[in-house]
Amino acid sequence: MKIEEIIPVALGKVPADVLLTNCKIVNVFTGNIEEGNIALYRKRIAGVGDYRSGKKVIDLEGNYVVPGLIDAHVHIESSMVDPVEFARTILPRGTTTIIADPHEIANVIGTTGIEYMLQYTEGIPLNIYMMIPSCVPTTKMETSGSEITSIDTIALVTKYPRVLGLGEVMNYPGVINTDRDLMTKIEIIRHLYKKIDGHAPGLSGKSLNAYASAFIRTDHECTNESEALEKISRGMQVLIREGSVARNLDDLIDAVTAQNERFFSFCTDDRHPDDIVKDGHIDNMVRRAISKGIDPIIAIRMATINSAQFYGLRSMGAIAPSYKADMVVTESLENFFPKIVIKDSKIIARDGKLTTDVVGNNIEQKLDGNFKITKIEEDDLTILSNGNQTRSIRVFNDSIVTSEEIFDIPPAKVPDVKNDLLKIAVVSRYSAEKSVFAGAVTGFGIKNGAIATSVGHDSHNMSVVGTNDLDMVLAINEILNMKGGIVVSSNGHIIAKLPLSIGGLMSSLTTEEVVKKIKELKEAARSIGCIINDPFMVLSFVQLAVIPKLRITNFGLVDVTKGNFVNIGI
C-alpha cells in the first residue's frame, strides 16, 4: 500500500474498501469511547469518524470495537500444536498479534526450529513476531540438543524482519557475572536498537540494577506486587502472566494503577490448548482483570497498546489512521467476549469460531525430535546414592516453583508410595549413549503407575515419575517409539498417550484432537492417584534449573539457589 492511496479514503473523497458503521470505538490514547464509523483501506484503518461511503458496509449495531489483542510473551510449543494450528486456536479469542520466543524448539534442533516457526507462519492472518532465544542451552547442568551462537543471533536478526530482539535472558547470573558469550549477544542486540526480554524471578536491589543495566527491559516472572513495582521503578515492562501452571494475575493486578498502567502488559507464556479452548487467551486476562476492579479501558490497554508501544509495533494496538485493521467487536466491556474478530479488514471469526481458513506455507524442514537413544532398561533407573535420609523435590499444584523436602527414608527404599515419595528420572534424548539420572519427588500422589513426557523445559530431555521401574521404563520407551509424546502407564500397560511428532514438543493433530487426548491423559493420571491438576505441565518444569529451588537434570539433582549439584542421600 502507498500512502498516497490511503489519503483520499481518509479524506472521504474515495469510498472505503470496508466501512464499519454504528461503532462504539475504544480509544486507547484518550481513554474515551467514541461513537462513529471506521473506514478501512486494504489492511489498514484510513479514518475514524463521520464516514458514509464504502464498497462493503458492515453494521456493528452499536457494539464496542477494541484493537486486536496482543500476547506479549508466549512459547507456541507449549500449546502442543503446530504454529498454524495455534493461530487457528487463538484468533477466535481476539488475539491478533503475539511475541513468540521459540527457545523450546531451538533447544531441540537449533536454528532449523526457529526458521521453521518463521517460514511456516509467513503470511498467515496472525501477526507472529519472534525473539531469538538468548540461552540455548539454558545451563551447563544438562544435555541440550543444540546451541544458538552469537553468529546465529546476528544472522537471524538481520535476515527476518519479524525478529524483534533477544528472548528472555534466563541466565541472570551470567549477566551479573558478565559472561562473555551472553554479553556479546546483548551487545549485538542493543546496538541494533532491538528489544531484550528478561526472566529474573525474585531479583532485587543492586542485582536488579545490574540486570537492568544490560538493557533488559521486561520481566514475566514477578510473583508479588512489591516485586512488580520494584521492576517497574527500574524501567522494566512487567508482563503479567497467566499460563496453565504459572498464574500470577491475581497476585499482581493490585499493583496496577492509573499512574503506572502503561508499564504493564499481559502474556500467557506457557498455556495448554485445553485451557485456551475452555477459558480463553488474552481475552480471559482482560475479563479477569476487570473482575478484579481494573477499569476496562486500562485492561484493554494492557492487552493492546502497552505491548505494541513497548515492542515498537507502530501499526498495532490502537484504532487510528494507518494502524492495521485488526479489531475485536464485543457487546460489553465489563463482560468482555470477542463477538467478531476482524484481521486485515476481514471478518475471520464470529462467536468464538473461525470463519476463514488459516493455512501455513509448504516448507521442507527436518523436524524430528533429535531422539538418539533407542530404549532404556529398569537398571538405568537405579538411584545411585547412599544415606539414611532422602532429599526430594517437592512439587506443587498449579505452580512451576519447587522446594526441597527431606524424608527419613533411605534412597534405596525409594519409591515409598505410602509416604508419596516417588521415583523421578530424567533421560537425555540427545545421545545414543545412555545419560540417565534418577532421584526422588513428592507431591504427585501417584499410587500405581507412571507418567512421562518428552517436554522438559528447557532442554527437553525426557522425564518420568512413578511408583515402579517397570511402568516408568514402559512409559519412556513408548515416548521413544512415538519419537516424542506424553504417556501414562499402569500395571505394565499404556493407558493413555499423546504423540508429539514435531520436535517431540508439538502434535500434528488439530487442537480439538489434542484437547481430547489431554483430557484422556488427565483422567488416566487421576485414575492412578495423581493429585496435580495438570501433572504433565508440572512435570515438564522439573528440569528447569533456573527457577528455585530443587530441580533434576540428566546430570544430577540441582540446587538452583546455590547453583550446584547436591546429593540425594543425606
Q: Where are the domains of the chain?
A: 67-316, 378-566
**Residue from 128, 455, 463 nearest 270 by CA:** 455
Identity (one letter) of the amino acid at 163? V
**Residue from 254, 226, 241, 246 nearest 307 by CA:** 241
Contact 495, 487 (CB under 8 A): no
pLDDT tens for 292-340 read 999 999 999 999 999 999 999 999 999 999 999 999 999 999 999 999 9
Contact 409, 431 (CB under 8 A): no
Q: What is the pLDDT of residue 548?
A: 87
Mean pLDDT score across all residues of the chain: 96
Q: Show the cell assigned to 443.
A: 507431591
Q: What is the pLDDT of residue 383?
A: 96
Q: Average pLDDT, stretch 87-99?
A: 98
Tell me which CATH homologous superfamily contains domain 67-316. Answer: Metal-dependent hydrolases (3.20.20.140)
pLDDT tens for 139-188 read 889 999 999 999 999 999 999 999 999 999 998 889 999 999 999 999 99
67 pLDDT above the threshold of 80:
yes
pLDDT tens for 415-464 read 999 999 999 999 999 999 999 999 999 999 999 999 999 999 989 999 99
Q: What is the pLDDT of residue 240?
A: 98
Q: Average pLDDT, stretch 95-114?
A: 96
- At residue 245 the predicted structure's pLDDT band, cuts being 50, 70 and 90, is confident
Q: What is the pLDDT of residue 345?
A: 98
Q: What is the pLDDT of residue 400?
A: 86
Q: What is the pLDDT of residue 211?
A: 98
What is the strand order of the sheet 390-394 is part of?
403-407, 390-394, 436-442, 421-427, 462-466, 450-453, 485-490, 493-499
Integer-rounded Cα radius of gyration of the chain: 24
Our CA angle for 463, 75, 545, nearest 5°, is 45
- Looking at the chain, the whole-number percentage of residues with pLDDT higher than 90 is 94
**Residue from 502, 40, 486, 558 nearest 274 by CA:** 486
Find where cell 493420571 sits: 525
Q: What is the pLDDT of residue 234?
A: 97
Q: What is the pLDDT of residue 282?
A: 98
- Looking at the chain, the whole-number percentage of residues with pLDDT higher than 70 is 100
Q: What is the pLDDT of residue 486?
A: 98
**Residue from 100, 88, 87, 64 nearest 319 by CA:** 64
285 pLDDT above the threshold of 80:
yes
pLDDT tens for 21-58 read 999 999 999 999 999 999 999 999 999 999 999 999 99
- At residue 476 the predicted structure's pLDDT band, cuts being 50, 70 and 90, is very high
Element (H, E) at 169: strand 163-169
Q: What is the pLDDT of residue 169?
A: 96
Whole-Å CA distances, 65 to 36, 272, 302, 304, 318: 11, 28, 16, 13, 10
Whole-Å CA distances, 18 to 8, 57, 171, 338, 342: 14, 6, 48, 20, 11
Q: Average pLDDT, stretch 350-354?
A: 97
Q: What is the pLDDT of residue 100?
A: 98
365 pLDDT above the threshold of 80:
no
Q: Write out the E strands in 171-216.
A: 195-198
- At residue 1 the predicted structure's pLDDT band, cuts being 50, 70 and 90, is confident
| CA separation for the pair 465, 448 (Å, rounded) | 11
**Residue from 126, 31, 132 nearest 70 by CA:** 126
Q: What is the pLDDT of residue 244?
A: 87
Q: Show the cell assigned to 460.
A: 527437553
Q: What is the pLDDT of residue 243?
A: 92
